[in-house]
């Protein structure tokens, strides 16, 4: 197995898909720093561990493979802990609760999951939202970024998207205010978002969980939470 000591002085290589507001995103300006709840959290965790960060912004669907190959150390990508993924990567302790919802423009006529029959919805490639649409036989267009999936609704290309509740709620409280609705999906359960690491990196998993526990104890996690979710 890899030696944790040897990695200690190297930057922590973080794979993300910075299109998932408010967890990870960049402003339109390409020189923008990585922003969001999860970006602040991973920065605080790395600081606890005494390591710097090297970011890699890639399509969400490429994240699990790159972690499996060992080319990146940790995924900070709003990733839902699923059984299937747990067979491929190691998850940290969860940092956020989520659930799938329908995001739809007001007056789209969509009020429940049944109204999506015969429509083509927008989802992000490789996500649990895309899996759900596929499993239910809902026609869907799959985008590389979450921002593009939401854009598709804004330009009228699709009448709905299936995405994570905190992301939909945040959108409706900001850019989508007064223009979009969030509709629950009755047959979905609560899920948890966590960081993902290589199967062999049990030492890194321990360090990340210890750092996160410390940030919860000392109030730092709460501060970051309030910055993004309470204003
Ligand atoms: N939570 C969902 C999943 O795991 C969506 C994650 C999308 N993340 C992102 N950075 N675009 O599939």
> With a 6 A CB cut-off, is 133 part of the ligand 1 pocket?
no
Q: Tokens 């992301």 belong to which residue? A: 167
Of 16, 25, 15, the C-alpha closest to 73 is 15
Between the CA of 130 and the centroid of ligand 1 the distance, in Å, is 10
Q: Is the pLDDT of residue 215 over 50?
A: yes
| Lowest model confidence (mean pLDDT) among 62-66, 144-148, 207-211 | 144-148
Between the CA of 6 and the centroid of ligand 1 the distance, in Å, is 31
**Which residue owns the Cα nearest ligand 1 atom 12?**
127
* Same-fold call for 4-96+191-229 versus 100-184: yes
pLDDT of residue 1: 46
Give the CATH superfamily of 100-184: Periplasmic binding protein-like II (3.40.190.10)
Q: Is the pLDDT of residue 142 over 50?
A: yes
pLDDT tens-digit map of 21-47: 999 999 877 678 999 999 999 999 999
pLDDT tens-digit map of 103-139: 999 999 999 999 999 999 999 999 999 999 999 999 9
Best substitution site from 21, 25, 39, 127 to test ligand 1's pocket, by max atoms within 8 Å of Cβ? 127
Q: What is the mean pLDDT of residues 152-180?
A: 97
State the CATH class of domain 4-96+191-229. Answer: alpha beta
pLDDT of residue 29: 73
Please report, for the chain, the start and end positions of each structural domain, with discontinuous segments joined by +. Answer: 4-96+191-229, 100-184
SS3 109: coil
Q: How many residues does the chain have?
A: 231
pLDDT of residue 165: 97
Contacts 24+ apart (CB under 8 A), 124-127: 124/19, 124/60, 124/148, 124/149, 124/163, 125/59, 125/60, 125/61, 126/59, 126/60, 126/61, 126/62, 126/63, 126/64, 127/60, 127/80, 127/163
């Amino acid at each position: 197995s890899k030696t944790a000591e040897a990695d200690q002085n190297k930057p922590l290589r973080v794979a993300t898909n910075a299109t998932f507001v408010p967890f990870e995103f960049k402003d339109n300006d390409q020189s923008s720093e990585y922003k969001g709840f999860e970006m602040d959290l991973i920065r605080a965790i790395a600081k606890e561990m005494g390591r710097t960060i090297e970011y890699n912004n890639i399509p969400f669907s490429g994240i699990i493979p790159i972690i499996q190959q060992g080319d990146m150390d940790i995924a900070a990508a709003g990733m839902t802990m699923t059984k299937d993924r747990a067979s491929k990567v190691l998850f940290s302790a969860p940092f956020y609760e989520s659930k799938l919802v329908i995001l739809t423009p007001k007056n789209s006529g969509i009020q429940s999951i049944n109204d999506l029959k015969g429509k083509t919805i927008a989802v992000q490639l490789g996500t649990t939202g895309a899996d759900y649409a596929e499993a239910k036989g809902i026609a869907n267009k799959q985008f590389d970024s979450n921002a593009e999936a939401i854009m598709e609704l804004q330009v009228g290309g699709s009448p709905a998207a299936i995405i994570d509740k905190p992301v939909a709620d945040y959108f409706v409280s900001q850019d989508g205010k007064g223009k979009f609705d969030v509709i629950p999906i009755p047959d979905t359960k609560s899920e948890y978002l966590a960081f993902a690491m290589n199967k062999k990196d049990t030492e890194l998993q321990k360090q990340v969980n210890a750092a996160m526990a410390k940030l919860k104890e000392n109030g730092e996690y709460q501060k970051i939470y309030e910055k993004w979710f309470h204003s």
